[in-house]
């Protein structure tokens, strides 16, 4: 059993204790997986159906929480236009999504080059991890015209039991947009052991030649990737009355006994 600990409200932008969810979370009729050029990036089409996406958007709007963050995800917009977000907490939503996501994931074998936080506070360097659940902490993000997020690396959350931790991020797209792609970036760190890499956020826009792979928002699709793979959100050019809306979450793994 995982002992989840709710974060302190003041430490996350727009904390939101989500209400009970009265609608079903359903996959789309044409759910399928698309191959990607990056081995630790999964892209699933029609993961959620249109009705579910609509209900999740309405849930977000009903929260009335739109905490602005900058291009580096901080609550200081002097650095440029990022997104507006609500950081939701819901064990119910986590359990619903776990039933749909976890069965499609495999055991994860990690090495010194694996781009996630498997090694931290892991003195025996246990390399094998089993996917168990979606984290109950969610970031609902709304991007309007000019919004972007500079290249960065996500970080894992390590549970106090030392057995569970998040190793992968996911992005669920609740809208279809013609700009504002999630892009994976060449950072030239692949030959460095993960514990020696510099995971600082970038302070500039990415050059086109640094983009390895790009995914435009498609309603109902989900992108799943190792935390420490460098990625950004390209500038959202804006479509009338049609913001870019996503849910950002994490997947919890358990150490496998050797």
How far is Cα of residue 12 from the mean position of the Cα atoms in its chain?
A: 15
Evaluate the CA torsion angle 104, 41, 233, 7 in order and state its sign. positive
Domains of the chain in start order, with CATH, are 44-255 (2.60.120.620)
What integer is the mean pLDDT of 166-183?
98
Distance between CA atoms of 190 and 197, rounded to whole angstroms?
9
The pLDDT value recorded for residue 77 is 64
The pLDDT value recorded for residue 193 is 97
Q: State the first-to-last Cα distance of the chain, in angstroms, to the nearest integer.
A: 20
Q: Enter the DSSP assignment of 17.
A: E
pLDDT digits (tens, 9 = 90+) for 192-223: 999 999 999 999 999 999 999 999 999 999 99
Burial of 102 per CB tally in 10 Å (0-12, 13-18, 19+): middle
Q: Enter the DSSP assignment of 158.
A: B
46 versus 11: the higher-pLDDT residue is 46
The pLDDT value recorded for residue 254 is 96
Do 73 and 82 form a contact (C-beta atoms < 8 A)? yes
What integer is the mean pLDDT of 176-189?
97
Q: Token pair of 181, please?
A: 């792609």
Percentage of residues of the chain with pLDDT beyond 70? 98
Mean of all residue pLDDT scores within the chain: 94
Q: Token pair of 124, please?
A: 């025996």
Distance between CA atoms of 13 and 124, rounded to whole angstroms?
35
Name the phi and psi angles at 2, rounded to 5: -95, 130
Closest C-alpha to 255, from 2, 7, 38: 2
Q: Token pair of 89, please?
A: 């907490």
pLDDT digits (tens, 9 = 90+) for 68-79: 999 988 876 667
Q: Would you say residue 258 has pLDDT above 60?
A: no
Percentage of residues of the chain with pLDDT beyond 90? 86
Looking at 100-227, which runs of residues are DSSP E strands?
Answer: 108-109, 128-134, 137-143, 149-152, 164-173, 182-185, 211-215, 222-226
Distance between CA atoms of 137 and 17, rounded to whole angstroms?
10
Torsion of CA 82, 182, 250, 116, to 10 degrees: -110
Distance between CA atoms of 255 and 177, rounded to whole angstroms?
38
pLDDT digits (tens, 9 = 90+) for 80-136: 889 999 999 999 999 999 999 999 999 999 999 999 999 999 888 899 999 999 999
Q: Would you say residue 167 has pLDDT above 60?
A: yes
Partners of residue 253 on adjacent β-strands: 131, 165
Distance between CA atoms of 44 and 65, rounded to whole angstroms?
29
Do 124 and 66 form a contact (C-beta atoms < 8 A)? no
Partners of residue 152 on adjacent β-strands: 231
pLDDT digits (tens, 9 = 90+) for 20-39: 999 999 999 999 999 999 99
HEC secondary structure over 174-210: CCCCCCCCEEEECCCCCCCCHHHCCCCCCCCCCCHHH
């Amino acid at each position: 059993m995982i002992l989840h600990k709710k974060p302190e409200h003041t430490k996350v932008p727009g904390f939101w204790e989500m209400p009970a969810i009265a609608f079903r979370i359903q996959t789309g009729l044409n759910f399928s997986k698309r191959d990607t050029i990056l081995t630790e990036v999964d892209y699933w089409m029609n993961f959620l159906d249109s009705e579910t996406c609509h209900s999740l958007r309405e849930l977000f709007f009903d929260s009335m929480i739109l905490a602005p963050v900058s291009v580096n995800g901080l609550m200081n917009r002097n650095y440029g236009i990022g997104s507006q977000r609500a950081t939701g907490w819901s064990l119910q939503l986590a359990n619903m999504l776990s039933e749909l996501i976890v069965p499609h994931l495999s055991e994860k074998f990690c090495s010194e080059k694996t781009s996630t936080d498997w090694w931290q506070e892991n003195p025996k360097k246990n390399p094998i991890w089993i996917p168990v659940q979606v984290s109950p902490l969610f970031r609902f993000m709304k991007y309007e015209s000019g919004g972007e997020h500079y290249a960065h690396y996500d970080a894992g959350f390590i549970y106090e039991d030392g057995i569970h931790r998040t190793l992968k991020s996911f992005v669920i797209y609740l809208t279809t947009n013609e700009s504002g792609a999630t892009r994976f970036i060449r950072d030239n760190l692949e030959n460095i052991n993960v514990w020696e890499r510099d995971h600082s956020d970038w302070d500039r826009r990415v050059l086109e030649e640094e983009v390895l792979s790009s995914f435009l928002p498609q309603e109902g699709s989900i992108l799943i990737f190792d935390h420490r793979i460098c990625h950004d959100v390209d500038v959202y050019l804006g479509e009338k009355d049609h913001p870019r809306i996503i849910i950002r979450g994490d997947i919890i793994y358990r150490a496998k006994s050797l």
